[in-house]
Amino acid sequence: MSDKDTSATIELLTFRLGDQEYSLDIMSVREIRGWTRATPLPHAPGYMKGVINLRGTVLPVMDLALRLGLTPREHTDRNVIIVVKHEDAMTGLLVDAVSDIIALTADDLQPPPDMQTSAIPNVVSALTLIDERMIRVLDLGSIVNSTQSAAA
């Protein structure tokens, strides 16, 4: 074992929402599926598209763009659902397209500036710049946990 590399490698799955690029820790991603129409549920938050059947398991699907406060857009067959697991909960995140898997170290990540004007937790945990692309690293826990609170 070598002591020269003290920074662990972090792998991120990058994806697009409109013209913006985001990423999630690859360890939270279980699979990537093509767009499947979700069955809406009454009284669900507006960003929840509904539920789908994932091999016999009911999976809630969230429109991630709406959850992040981005402009609503039409869904097409080109959209994908990223199935993620946070703690014991599985959730589908509807995104425009998956881009890439990138490997970084903690030194490549920068904290986001504090621009919050409300008590809503920041869903961006870090930023990184790759080939002139500003990629936001999402805090999956703050996205999924607030969804569970809103649904309760």
73 and 103 Cβ atoms separated by less than 8 Å: no
Distance CA 90, CA 86 (A): 7
Query: Per-residue b/e over 49-82, b at no fewer than 16 CB within 10 Å?
Result: bbbbebeeeebbbbbbbbbbeeeeeeeeeebbbb
CB 107 within 8 A of CB 88: no
pLDDT (mean) for 137-148: 80
pLDDT at 150: 46
pLDDT value of residue 32? 96
pTM of the shown model: 0.86
pLDDT over 70 at 1, yes or no = no
What are 61-92's pLDDT values in tens digits?
999 999 998 988 888 888 999 999 999 899 99
pLDDT of 6 above 70: no
> Of residues 114 and 120, which shows the higher confidence score?
114
CA gap 75, 77 in Å, rounded: 7
Cβ-based neighbours of 103, under 8 Å, separated by 6 or more: 9, 10, 11, 12
**Given the structure tokens 């995140």, which residue do they identify?**
93
